[in-house]
C-alpha cells in the first residue's frame, strides 16, 4: 500500500497491537486447572491467547476476549497425562511439538491415537477423552474450544476417585485399549477416524492468490457446525488484498513470519509482523490482509469463527 494515499492511523495501529498476542509477552500457567492440584502426574501448563479455554481463569486480562472460539497453548511434560473427561462442545488439539497419545472412551473401551506435529483431533461433543505424553520430548499443542466460554469439564476417570492405572489408561481395563485404525468397523474407531486429521493425509489446495491451504475443519476437512480450522502455507513475497468476514478470525504463526494488516473506512492502514507463536485476532467486519515479508515461507494456523465453505475470494496483492 502507498503510504501517501494510505497513511498509517496511530489509533488503528494501537487497536491492531491490542489484538496481537506475543508469545514472549505471555507466560505458561501451571495452575490453570484446579482439578489437577495434588496430582503431579496430571501437571500441565497453559498459555492463554484467546479466552480461557478449559480453565476457569476467565478473568485473565492478558488474554483476548473470545467470541466463537478460544485458543491456548498447552505444554505437557513427558510421562504426564490428562484424566478422561467430556465437554458440551467440540475442542481441537493441534500438535506443534512432540507426539501426543489421545484416548476416547465409551463403555469401558478406549481407542488411542498417536498424533505428531501438525496433526489434529477434534474431540467430539460429550465423548470422554484424555491424553498422555508417552514420548521423549514435551508436547506443545494448541487447543481451541469451539465456544467462547465452555462449561467446566465433566471428569469420567480422575485419579481422585479412580485407581491410578485405570485413570492413566482413560478408563480402559487391561485388554480394552484399541489402537487407532481407520479401517476398523468399531463404532468408536469410525467416529474417531472422522475427527482425526493427519497433516500428510490432507490435500494441499493452492489458491490462485499464491498461497496454500490444508482444511482441517470445514469443507474438505472434518464437517462440523462450529469454527473452521485451516493450515496456511504462505510463500515468501506472497500477500493478499484486504478482505472482510462476518465473524472473527485468528492467525497463529507456526513457522516463519507473517505481516498482517488492518484497513479503516478511509483506507488508512496499520500492520504488524507476527513471528513464531504470535497470534492476531481480527474482529468481525474489519478489513484485513496478510503478506509474507519474511525470509522464509510461513506456516500459519487459522481459526475462523463460523462453519461452512470459504466465502472469501482471495486476490493476490
* 264-303 positions binding Fe ion, by CB under 5 A: none
Q: What is the distance between the alpha carbons of residues 233 and 199, in angstroms, rounded to a whole number?
A: 12
236: its cell numbers: 515468501
Cβ-based nearer residue to Fe ion, 127 or 209:
127
Minimum CB separation from Fe ion for residue 153, in Å?
Answer: 6
Minimum CB separation from Fe ion for residue 310, in Å?
Answer: 27
DSSP state of 160: T
Q: What is the end-to-end Cα distance of the chain in Å, rounded?
A: 9
Q: Is 44 left (phi over 0), alpha (psi -120 to 50) or beta?
A: beta
Cβ-based nearer residue to Fe ion, 17 or 154:
154
152: its cell numbers: 467446566
Minimum CB separation from Fe ion for residue 204, in Å?
Answer: 29
Cβ-based nearer residue to Fe ion, 158 or 291:
158
Distance, C-alpha 164 to centroid of its chain: 29
Cβ-based nearer residue to Fe ion, 41 or 264:
41
Minimum CB separation from Fe ion for residue 82, in Å?
Answer: 7
Report how many helices (DSSP H) and strands (DSSP E) the chain contains, helices first. Answer: 3, 22
The C-alpha angle with vertex 208 and arms to 265 and 230, in degrees rounded to 5, equals 75
Window 73-102: contact mask with Fe ion (x via CB under 5 A): ------------------x-----------
Strands 177-179 and 109-115: parallel
What is residue 115's three-state secondary structure?
strand
Cβ-based nearer residue to Fe ion, 44 or 291:
44
Cβ-based nearer residue to Fe ion, 83 or 197:
83
Q: What is the distance between the alpha carbons of residues 236 and 251, in angstroms, rounded to a whole number?
A: 17
Give residue number: closest CB to Fe ion: 91
What are the helix (H) ranges across the chain? 10-18, 164-168, 187-195
Minimum CB separation from Fe ion for residue 130, in Å?
Answer: 8
Cβ-based nearer residue to Fe ion, 145 or 299:
145
The DSSP line for 190-234 is HHHHHHEE-TTTSPPEEPTTS-EEEEEESTTSB--SS-EEEEEEE
Q: What is the distance between the alpha carbons of residues 54 and 156, in angstroms, rounded to a whole number?
A: 16
Minimum CB separation from Fe ion for residue 150, in Å?
Answer: 9
Q: What is the distance between the alpha carbons of residues 290 and 292, in angstroms, rounded to a whole number?
A: 7
The site for Fe ion, by CB under 5 A, has a size of 1
Cβ-based nearer residue to Fe ion, 91 or 278:
91
Binding stretches for Fe ion (CB under 5 A): 91
Amino acid at each position: 500500500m502507498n503510504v501517501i494515499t494510505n497513511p498509517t492511523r496511530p489509533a488503528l495501529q494501537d487497536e491492531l497491537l491490542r489484538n496481537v498476542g506475543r508469545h514472549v509477552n505471555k507466560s505458561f500457567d501451571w495452575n490453570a486447572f484446579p482439578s489437577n492440584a495434588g496430582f503431579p502426574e496430571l501437571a500441565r501448563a497453559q498459555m492463554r491467547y484467546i479466552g480461557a479455554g478449559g480453565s476457569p481463569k476467565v478473568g485473565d486480562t492478558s488474554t483476548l476476549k473470545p467470541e466463537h472460539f478460544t485458543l491456548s497453548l498447552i505444554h505437557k511434560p513427558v510421562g504426564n497425562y490428562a484424566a478422561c473427561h467430556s465437554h458440551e462442545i467440540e475442542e481441537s488439539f493441534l500438535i506443534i511439538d512432540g507426539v501426543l497419545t489421545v484416548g476416547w472412551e465409551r463403555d469401558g473401551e478406549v481407542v488411542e491415537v498417536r498424533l505428531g506435529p501438525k496433526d489434529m483431533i477434534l474431540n467430539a461433543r460429550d465423548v470422554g477423552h484424555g491424553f498422555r505424553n508417552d514420548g521423549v520430548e514435551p508436547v506443545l499443542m494448541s487447543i481451541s474450544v469451539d465456544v467462547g466460554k465452555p462449561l467446566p469439564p465433566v471428569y469420567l476417570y480422575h485419579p481422585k476417585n479412580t485407581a491410578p492405572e485405570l485413570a492413566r489408561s482413560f478408563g480402559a481395563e487391561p485388554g480394552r485399549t484399541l489402537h487407532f485404525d481407520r479401517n476398523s468397523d468399531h463404532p468408536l474407531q469410525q467416529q474417531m477416524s472422522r475427527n482425526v486429521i493427519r497433516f500428510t493425509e490432507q490435500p494441499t489446495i493452492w489458491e490462485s492468490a499464491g498461497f496454500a491451504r490444508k482444511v482441517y475443519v470445514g469443507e474438505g476437512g472434518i464437517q462440523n457446525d462450529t469454527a473452521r480450522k485451516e493450515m496456511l502455507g504462505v510463500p515468501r513475497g506472497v500477500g493478499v488484498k484486504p478482505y472482510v468476514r462476518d465473524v472473527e478470525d485468528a492467525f497463529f504463526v507456526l513457522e516463519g513470519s507473517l505481516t498482517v494488516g488492518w484497513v479503516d473506512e478511509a483506507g488508512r492502514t496499520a500492520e504488524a509482523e507476527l513471528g513464531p507463536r504470535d497470534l492476531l485476532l481480527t474482529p468481525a467486519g474489519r478489513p484485513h490482509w496478510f503478506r509474507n515479508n519474511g525470509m522464509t515461507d510461513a506456516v500459519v494456523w487459522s481459526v475462523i469463527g463460523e462453519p461452512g465453505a470459504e466465502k472469501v475470494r482471495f486476490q493476490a496483492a
